[in-house]
């Protein structure tokens, strides 16, 4: 069994093609469109995300964000993508494979956000579906995990559509919008056939 990544990204991540969209590395040239979409989606995103810093949408904060993404990439800690609509190049959201654990775990955490003008159009479902082969085949992970607030019905549907199975319930798991919130825990395995496709801890 290989316990460490055997590939090395010395250049920006490869572009991943999905159904009507592309996943690609964020660049400084994305700042204007990224900040405009995040600002327009603020009220929609705030209930589901950590508290935004006061300078979150500034150019300098975006530059720091890219630096962190680059450091995570070099150290095999995380892989960040912007989700771009294929037809016109419009930025619709973002997706990350973060908190990479190697050794005996070979796992990561999936995170994502969608701009308000593009919700309920299937883009995030397609993006998650596209990144799964990258996680398992390219990064050679065994397990992709995700967590969502129990009231986030859209996120639950998204994960279930992409083969994630509910495995548990974590109390005060993440600080979201300034509040420690309970989360449902989901995961998808590289080879789901090896384990029972069932929910482990439904309350």
The band of 191, judged by pLDDT with boundaries at 50, 70 and 90, is confident
Cα separation, 136 vs 154, whole angstroms: 24
Overall pTM > 0.75: yes
Q: Let me know: does 123 contact 93? Beta carbons within 8 Å.
A: yes
Q: Which class does domain 16-194 fall in?
A: alpha beta
Cβ-based neighbours of 83, under 8 Å, separated by 6 or more: 21, 22, 23, 91, 92, 93, 94, 95, 114, 123, 124, 127
pLDDT tens digits along 92-111: 999 999 999 999 999 999 99
Cα separation, 18 vs 146, whole angstroms: 20
pLDDT tens digits along 19-54: 999 999 999 999 999 999 999 999 999 999 999 999
Question: What is the β-pairing status of strands 143-148 and 107-114?
Answer: parallel
Residues 142-148, mean pLDDT to the nearest whole number: 97
Tokens of 182: 């309970």
Domain ranges of the chain: 16-194
Q: Is the pLDDT of residue 129 over 60?
A: yes
Residues 57-61, mean pLDDT to the nearest whole number: 97
Q: Let me know: does 167 contact 199? Beta carbons within 8 Å.
A: yes
The band of 79, judged by pLDDT with boundaries at 50, 70 and 90, is very high
């Amino acid at each position: 069994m290989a316990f460490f990544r055997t590939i090395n990204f010395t250049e920006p991540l490869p572009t991943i093609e999905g159904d009507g969209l592309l996943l690609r590395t964020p660049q400084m040239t994305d700042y204007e469109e990224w900040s405009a979409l995040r600002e327009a989606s603020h009220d929609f995103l705030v209930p589901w995300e950590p508290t935004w810093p006061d300078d979150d949408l500034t150019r300098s904060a975006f530059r720091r964000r890219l630096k962190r993404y680059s450091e995570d990439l070099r150290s095999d800690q995380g892989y960040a993508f912007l989700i771009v609509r294929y037809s016109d190049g419009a930025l619709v959201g973002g997706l990350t494979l973060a908190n990479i654990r190697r050794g005996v775990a070979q796992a990561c955490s999936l995170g994502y956000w969608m701009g308000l003008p593009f919700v309920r159009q299937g883009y995030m479902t397609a993006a998650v579906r596209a990144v799964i082969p990258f996680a398992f085949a390219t990064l050679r992970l065994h397990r992709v995990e995700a967590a969502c607030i129990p009231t986030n019905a859209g996120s639950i549907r998204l994960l279930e559509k992409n083969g994630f199975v509910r495995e548990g319930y974590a109390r005060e798991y993440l600080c979201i919008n300034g509040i420690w919130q309970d989360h449902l825990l989901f995961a998808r395995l590289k080879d789901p056939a090896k384990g029972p496709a069932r929910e482990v801890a439904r309350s």
